Structures are given as C-alpha cells and as structure tokens.
Structure 1
Amino acid sequence: MSQGFGGQVPAPHVQAKHREVTTYLVVIAAPEGPIAKLLLPDREQVAELDANTEEVTAMIMDRVPTVGAAGAEWDRLFAAYSVEERATAKIYTLEA
C-alpha cells in the first residue's frame, strides 16, 4: 500500500531568479509624513514604507545620507514631487 494516502506528492520546488540587492533607501517628505523608498541599483522602486519605522531606522543607522534628488537620474522616480521635496530628500546607499 502507498504511503501517499491518496494525495499526490507535490512537484519539487524550483527556485526562481532572485531580484538584485537593494542599493538605495530614499527618505522623502510626503503630506502624510516622511516615506522611505527602497531602490535597486537602476533606481527601480521595490518597496515603500513609513520612514518612522524601526526597520528604516535600523537600515540607516551609522550611514551618512546624500541630500537632494535633483539630478536627472531621479526624474523618473520623483516626477510627482515638488522641487523643494526633491531638494530635501535623503539618499542612503545600503551597499555593505
């Protein structure tokens, strides 16, 4: 008698390709409060969260930000933000 008890055994797990490591964390002002955006090296956004969380605090601990996201490389991501908001954005590089 089979030990499967009538149930089909699941197929072996196939691991999909992992996404790249998050490189940037940008904290920018928003009407609801500051938000943090996690970005890939090509500046594609992969997550957005409240910048006042413990997770964000832990990620930026002992890191010095670059202030201002006014360059052309940030245009696609921050097109909806004002010049003032972009000028005060804090950009943290998360590479080890």
Structure 2
Amino acid sequence: MSQTYGSESPRAPRQTSHRKPARYLVVIESGGFILARLFLDTREQVAEFDAATEEAAQMMAGLSPTKGAEGPEWDKALEGHSVAERRAADVYTLDV
C-alpha cells in the first residue's frame, strides 16, 4: 500500500496580519453613476462599487452622513471628482 493514501493532515493556522477596516464610505456621483467608495482612516481607497447595491445600503443603515467632501483631507483621495461632485457627496463614518 502506498504511503500517500488518504487525505493530508490539516496544517496549523498561520497568524497573519489583517487588513485595516474601512473607516469612511463616500457616496459620490461620477459621470452619471452613483458610486460608493470605501476609504481607510488615512483616506486611502480600498474599494469602489455601485452605490445601489444591497451591501452599500447595509453599510449606510442607521448612519447619518456628513454632506460634502470638500476638506483638504479629501483632496488627494477624490482628486478625479469635480468640486460640485465633492460638495454633493455623502460621507459616512463607519463603526470600526
């Protein structure tokens, strides 16, 4: 009988560092589409998707947005958006 018969034993779990959680959800119009963009607390973008998805609605549930993302902290993160788009954006601070 072969020594390789059967299933391999499970390996011990590795302790790897997790990604930082998203801190901000910005709902912003871009070229006629409403986007949901997720950012870390450093304003680094980690995801972008259609704001009409169920996931976006679940993230926004029970949270009150701040109107506008015009501050200097958003300049680099939202540099591809016009001033009007940034002014109309809704910024949600997510519970971490």
Q: TM-score range by the shorter chain?
A: 0.7 to 0.9
What is the alpha-carbon distance in structure 2 between the residues aligned to residue 3 and residue 39 of structure 1? Answer: 51
User: Residue 53 of structure 1 aligns with which residue?
Assistant: 53
Q: Equivalences for 1:75-90 in 2 at 5 Å?
A: 75-90=75-90
Q: What is the identity, as a one-letter code, of the residue corresponding to 1:35?
A: L
> In the comparison of the two structures, how many residue pairs are matched?
96
1:13-61 C-alpha deviation (Å, 9 max, x unpaired): 4232101111110000011410001111111111101000000001101
User: Residue 95 of structure 2 aligns with which residue?
Assistant: 95
Q: What is the identity, as a one-letter code, of the residue corresponding to 1:20?
A: K
Q: What is the identity, as a one-letter code, of the residue corresponding to 2:74?
A: W
Deviation at 1:3?
Answer: 5.0
Deviates most, 5-14 or 56-65:
5-14
1:63-96 C-alpha deviation (Å, 9 max, x unpaired): 1100111111001111111000000110001115
User: Residue 24 of structure 1 aligns with which residue?
Assistant: 24
What is the alpha-carbon distance in structure 2 between the residues aligned to residue 3 and residue 93 of structure 1? Answer: 56
Gaps of 5+ in 1: none
Q: Answer 1 or 2: which has greater strand percent.
A: 2
How large is the Cα RMSD of the aligned pairs? 2.3
Per the normalisation by structure 1, the TM-score is 0.85
SS at match of 1:38: strand
Deviates most, 75-84 or 5-14:
5-14
Gaps of 5+ in 2: none
User: Residue 67 of structure 2 aligns with which residue?
Assistant: 67
> How high is the sequence identity, in percent, across the aligned residues?
46
